[in-house]
């Protein structure tokens, strides 16, 4: 007799647990939507900051390379393969009639992998040059809102000029003695 009295109590407990699980599922779905919305906003903020850094660095950048007389400047220049697929892009391209400079811009230049990726990008630019690069000497630079010292050294060793935001200006960091920019 005691067992038959417990069955309705168990059923009520199971029903209550089931209702709590359904409510938890609803709350988890709402939380997931909130997380997705916040993630999208943060991603947009990171993209916006990167675009801001790029715009700040691009402004009058050719003045930093007076010896090269780079009077033409372009932003976000795509590099296409022979099938017209985008392989990469150049954040900022400076050029004159003899020389082109591909500048990679990072919010934070804090990884040697960034330098390695730009080295690969330079090879792709040389293999598939846009009109502004074809038949010209090609040199490279890396720029960042913040540039880590060890990455700066690695960039120089790789043959890149290095630029960094410094409060209210973009500064070409004087390369070490004996620095020779690499040509691709």
Give the burial class of 106: count Cβ atoms within 10 A of its Cβ; 0-12 exposed, 13-18 middle, 19 or more buried.
Answer: buried
- Residues 99-126, mean pLDDT to the nearest whole number: 95
Q: What is the dihedral of CA 73, 136, 64, 169, to 10 degrees?
A: 40
**Confidence band for 81, pLDDT divided at 50, 70 and 90:** very high
Q: In the chain, what are the domain boundaries?
A: 60-172
The fold of the 60-172 domain, in CATH, is: Trna Endonuclease; Chain: A, domain 1 (3.40.1350)
pLDDT of residue 44: 57
Give the residue from 101, 111, 72, 77 showing the smallest Cα distance to 91.
Answer: 77
pLDDT-wise least confident of 23-37, 64-78, 101-115, 118-132:
23-37
Q: How many Cα atoms within 13 Å fall on the side-chain side of residue 53? A: 24
Is 4 a residue whose pLDDT tops 70?
A: no
**And the tokens for 51?**
């675009």
pLDDT-wise least confident of 8-22, 66-80, 117-131:
8-22
pLDDT of residue 48: 67
**Confidence band for 52, pLDDT divided at 50, 70 and 90:** confident
Q: Look at residue 60 and give its three-state secondary structure.
A: coil
Is 73 a residue whose pLDDT tops 60?
A: yes
**Confidence band for 29, pLDDT divided at 50, 70 and 90:** confident
Single pTM value for the model: 0.69
- Residue 27 or residue 5, greater confidence: 27
Residues forming a β-bridge with 170: 165
What is the rounded CA–CA span in Å between residue 26 and residue 24? 5
pLDDT of residue 90: 96
Contact (Cβ atoms closer than 8 angstroms) between residue 99 and residue 139: yes
**Confidence band for 5, pLDDT divided at 50, 70 and 90:** low
Q: What is the dihedral of CA 74, 79, 84, 87, to 10 degrees?
A: -140
Is 145 a residue whose pLDDT tops 80?
A: yes
- Tell me the Ramachandran region of residue 84: left when phi exceeds 0, alpha when psi lies from -120 to 50, beta otherwise: left
Concatenated DSSP letters for 12-52?
HHHHHHHHHHHHHHHHHHHHHHHHHHHHHHHHHHHHHHHHH
């Amino acid at each position: 007799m005691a067992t038959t009295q417990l069955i309705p109590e168990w059923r009520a407990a199971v029903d209550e647990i089931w209702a709590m699980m359904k409510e938890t599922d609803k709350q988890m779905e709402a939380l997931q939507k909130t997380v997705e919305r916040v993630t999208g906003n943060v991603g947009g903020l990171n993209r916006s900051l990167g675009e801001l850094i790029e715009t700040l660095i691009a402004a009058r950048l050719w003045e930093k390379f007076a010896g090269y007389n780079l009077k033409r400047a372009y932003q976000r220049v795509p590099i296409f393969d022979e099938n017209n697929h985008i392989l990469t892009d150049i954040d900022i391209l400076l050029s004159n009639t003899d020389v082109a400079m591909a500048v990679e811009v990072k919010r934070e230049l804090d990884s040697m992998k960034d330098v390695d990726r730009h080295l690969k990008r330079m090879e792709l630019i040389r293999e598939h040059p846009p009109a502004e690069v074809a038949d010209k000497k090609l040199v490279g630079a890396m720029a960042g809102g913040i540039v880590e010292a060890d990455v700066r050294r690695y960039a120089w060793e790789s043959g890149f000029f290095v630029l960094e935001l410094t409060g209210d200006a973009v500064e070409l960091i004087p390369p070490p003695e004996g620095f020779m920019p690499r040509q691709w």
